[in-house]
Amino acid sequence: MNCEESRQTLLNALAGSISAERQLPVENHLSTCEDCRGFAEVQRMLDVRLTAAVPLVSLSPRFRSSLREKCRHQAIPGWSESLPDIAHLIGCALAIVLLLLVMPQYSRTVLLAGSGFTAVTYFFQAVLRSSLERREA
Amino acid sequence: MNRYEGKVFRMALVILKDPARAEEVTQDIFLKLWQALPDYDGRASPGTWLYTIARNTCLSASRSDSYRKTVSIDVTAEPAAPWAQSGDMELAQCIDRLPEIQRTVITLFYLEEKCVDEVARMLGMPEGTVKSHLHRARLALAGMMKE
């Protein structure tokens, strides 16, 4: 085994990919080559130093709760979550139709007032829902 | 998630060098995974799929962070995370001077308990490439220590 092969094998051993039996020729080479012995010593010391210095890193305890919160905000609303909106719009539409049937002479006023009422109540409903969601969060 | 959250966080920390930002990006990664779950076709293993999303998200966050930051050249700056937390400041500063890819590989190698195949999976590289960066990093560090 020459110096180049010995150094390569030594580096591979430090990367954890060399069996013990393949390390034997390296040890034999090191016993006869001072340069490679020095190289091996420096590399082994470096490995020990890196292993000792590697910091412990971990996520903060609030990682999961914060992630759950983000997931909840990102959730795509299903049709069931839109049910209050659908019920509100259908209710308003039925009321307008009923008023048009009862007071056909005021159809223009009924349509305008009905649309305005629907929009205003829809807005209040949205504000109320978002404030309730914020309180739950 | 239990199995991967720590690994993804460590990858983010190595790429972004800032624990708070790394945690924020780790959350974004799991959020993306959750959203992309219906599109997962099972062709790649879950780990590979997760690491691909994680890597791309970290790199994109790193690019946008460095775009936002004003460039400052400070030769006496503290070493970046995660080595900044280590007690060996000389070693931490030497690691900081390594080329980006070597720094990433050697840091992940030691953070992942010297597991080359895990580092290869995380970085989407062949194991041989990881070893080669690792060897170069070791030689460069030994050279710096001698100086």
Q: Are B81 and B95 in contact (CB under 8 A)?
A: no
The verdict on B81 and B58 lying in the same domain is no
CA distance B25 to A19: 39
The verdict on B64 and B93 lying in the same domain is no
The whole domain housing B113 covers 77-147
More confident of the two residues A40 and A129: A40
> Stretch B92-103: mean pLDDT, rounded?
92
pLDDT at site B40:
83
- Min distance B68 CA to chain A CA atoms (Å): 24
Verify whether the Cβ–Cβ distance A59 to B6 is below 8 Å.
yes
Q: Which of A15-19, A54-58, B88-92 is predicted most confidently? A: B88-92
A43-84 pLDDT tens trace: 999 999 999 988 888 888 888 888 888 887 776 556 666 788
**A71 within a domain of the structure (yes/no):** no
Hey, is the C-beta of B47 within 8 angstroms of any chain A C-beta? no
Q: What percent of chain A has pLDDT over 90?
A: 33
- Min distance A108 CA to chain B CA atoms (Å): 47
The whole domain housing A116 covers 77-136
The verdict on B58 and B106 lying in the same domain is no
Verify whether the Cβ–Cβ distance B131 to A15 is below 8 Å.
yes
Inform me whether the pLDDT recorded for B137 exceeds 80.
Answer: yes
With tokens 């305890």, the residue in question is A61
Q: Say what the pTM is.
A: 0.70
State which amino acid sits at residue A79. Answer: W
DSSP letter assigned to residue B97: T
The verdict on B99 and B45 lying in the same domain is no
Q: How many domains does the structure of chain B reveal?
A: 2
Q: Are A122 and A85 in contact (CB under 8 A)?
A: yes
Query: Which of A16, A46, A60 is the closest to B142 by Cβ?
Result: A46
> Stretch A127-137: mean pLDDT, rounded?
72
pLDDT at site B147:
74
**A61 within a domain of the structure (yes/no):** no
Interface confidence: ipTM more than 0.95? no
B22-75 pLDDT tens trace: 999 999 999 988 888 888 888 888 888 999 999 999 999 988 876 666 555 444
pLDDT at site B75:
47
